[in-house]
Amino acid sequence: MTVERIDEETPLLTTDHDNNVQVLKQRRTPTPLPKVQISILMLLQLCEPILSQSIYPYINQLISELDITGGDERRVGYYAGIIESLFYATEAMTVLQWSRASDTIGRKPILLIGVAGSMISMLLFGLSTTFWALVVSRCLTGLLNGNIGIMKSTIADLTDPTNRAEGISMIPAVWSFGATMGPLIGGTFAKPHERFPNVFTSPFWRAYPYFLPCLVGVSYVFVAFTIAAVAFKETLPKKRRRSRKLSRDYSSGSEITVTSTYQEGPIPLRELITYPVVLTVSNYAVLAFLNIAFNALFPLFLAMPLDIGGLGLPPSTIGYIMGAYGAATGLFQFFWFAKIIRALGERLVVLIGTGALPAMFIILPIISLIARNCGVNALVWMMIVLVEMLAVLMDTAYGGIFLYLTTSPPSRSALGATNGLSQTTVSISRAIGPVMSTSLFSLSVQKNWLGGYAVYLFFAVLSLGSVALARLLPEGLWEEAEAEVEDD
């Protein structure tokens, strides 16, 4: 093994780095989390799922009332799918730029811009009376909001390796809570002139029947925005210290070359494309693609009639099933994720999570076959519960990948850009996944591919590929792997 040092200061600073790594390894007690800062950040994190998920109870009805389907109710899903995917598609265009900006001007101003953009676009959504107005409002939401990636960067700023797992575990837990509250808001306050005729008597509510759920969601967001603007402290130092950048050559077999350089400020984007970043982002994007493909496929499977491979369940029952899953995964992440990470390690957690995906897809046709022959009996419900338990395990892989992501940048100054690059890739995946899975379901049924079950085999095979990709991750986090290389 050879070690190339291209900076005359490298020996001294490398020693400091090694000492710091050793101190972290020896530290047994996790550093207490900055509770006030983390709490305010989670208030902001809650904004996005509340606003984005609140449209799902009424979006299909809204589309049908716009008279753009030509009277064919079967086309409603097509237009609703466009509205649901637009956020991710437009987000992919700007999230990297917002994240890179947070590396220079700070996390707080970019977070506040994103929240303000969400409020404006959601109010416009509630006032939209044409399909194209809905399109514009959803595009604005994605274009103005880069907070998904910046949240992870801010968590990394507020934590250290001893308590980062606790901090990371809050992101999916809070998202799950918001994803439960959002649909409740949308379903409760849509068409208030019909649900609460004695209170909402103004003609305004008849003209804009879906404005109230948007207003209720925005009211919470405004409170969170005000609290963050007043009380949240910037987590990015005004003057960055020199950032150490490690680059490694993996092409020489067992021989690894470590190069140390120093630089000020964010690195150029082309230098961000390193092996740790590419591998981590690839795992994140593949997991997100398969996850959202399943999330689109599962309720469709539950709703379709028995004779075409579904279970024929009513919307209320499907809502209870999905709500139970959201609550279960949120509680599991909050109470158990950090403990599991410490017990098993990040790599094994990611492998277990991705390993749950093939089983999730394969179990669905088995459930269908049982239901076709025996009806929706107790065994079917037990297997639905099994699928949801596997989905909860799958969600833990996100936390493991987030931990790899925080240690993958070539320098600390590239943390925001790395999260932005990852979120850009993930947004593209999430824009494609639902359309692909639901379209393949229809094709499998119409063409009778594998008895109508080809879609499940297709995604099960892709899921096996995600497990193979996860196996390439190092045993420890990237900073630990780099320390081991230097020690050698």
Note the pLDDT tens digit of each residue in 73-82: 555 556 766 7
486 pLDDT exceeds 60? no
Q: State whether 282 and 140 are in the same domain.
A: no
367 pLDDT exceeds 80? yes
Q: State whether 60 and 185 are in the same domain.
A: yes
**pLDDT tens digits, one per residue of 423-469:** 888 888 888 887 788 788 888 888 888 888 999 999 999 999 999 99
Tracing tokens 């404006």 back to the chain, one arrives at 120
Residue 145 domain-assigned?
Answer: yes
Residue 227 domain-assigned?
Answer: yes
Q: State whether 103 and 228 are in the same domain.
A: yes
Long-range (24+ apart) CB contacts under 8 A made by 436-439 are: 436/293, 437/293, 437/294, 437/296, 437/297, 438/77, 438/81, 438/296, 438/297, 438/300
Tracing tokens 């109508």 back to the chain, one arrives at 452
110 pLDDT exceeds 70? yes
Q: State whether 338 and 228 are in the same domain.
A: no
The arithmetic mean of pLDDT across residues 363-382, rounded, is: 94
481 pLDDT exceeds 80? no
Question: Confidence class of residue 6 from pLDDT cuts 50, 70 and 90?
Answer: very low
Question: Confidence class of residue 472 from pLDDT cuts 50, 70 and 90?
Answer: very high
Which residue would you say has higher pLDDT here, 127 or 446? 127
% of the chain residues with pLDDT over 90: 29
Q: State whether 171 and 273 are in the same domain.
A: no
pLDDT of res. 293: 87
HSE-up of residue 356 (Cα within 13 Å, Cβ side): 21
The arithmetic mean of pLDDT across residues 242-249, rounded, is: 44
pLDDT of res. 315: 63
Q: Which residues, including other chains, have CB under 8 Å from residue 456's CB and lie 6 or more apart?
A: 361, 362, 364, 365
Q: State whether 222 and 298 are in the same domain.
A: no
Q: State whether 227 and 300 are in the same domain.
A: no
Separation of alpha carbons 289 and 285, rounded Å: 6
Q: Which of 184, 207, 233 is the C-terminal boundary of a domain?
A: 233
13 pLDDT exceeds 50? no
Averaged pLDDT score across all residues of the chain: 80
Q: State whether 213 and 284 are in the same domain.
A: no
% of the chain residues with pLDDT over 70: 82
Phi/psi at 244 (nearest 5 deg)? -80, 130
> What are the Cα distances from residue 357, in Å, to 126, 293, 463?
36, 11, 6
Q: How many folded domains does the chain comprise?
A: 2
Q: State whether 161 and 279 are in the same domain.
A: no
Question: Confidence class of residue 112 from pLDDT cuts 50, 70 and 90?
Answer: very high
Task: Assess contact for 165 and 156: CB atoms under 8 A.
Answer: no
pLDDT of res. 230: 95
Residue 83 domain-assigned?
Answer: yes
Residue 460 domain-assigned?
Answer: yes
**pLDDT tens digits, one per residue of 45-70:** 888 888 877 887 777 678 778 877 66
pLDDT of res. 259: 44
Q: State whether 283 and 213 are in the same domain.
A: no
Q: Which of 212, 233, 254 is the C-terminal boundary of a domain?
A: 233
Q: State whether 86 and 213 are in the same domain.
A: yes
Boundaries of domain holding 214 = 31-233
Nearest to 3 by CA among 274, 249, 276, 251: 249
Q: What is the largest CA-CA distance in the chain?
A: 79
pLDDT of res. 3: 40
Q: Is 312 helix (H, G, I), strand (E, B) or coil?
A: coil
What's 328's domain CATH number? 1.20.1250.20
Helix 147-158 / helix 76-102 crossing angle, nearest 10 deg: 40
Q: State whether 202 and 330 are in the same domain.
A: no
Residue 115 domain-assigned?
Answer: yes
The arithmetic mean of pLDDT across residues 126-130, rounded, is: 90
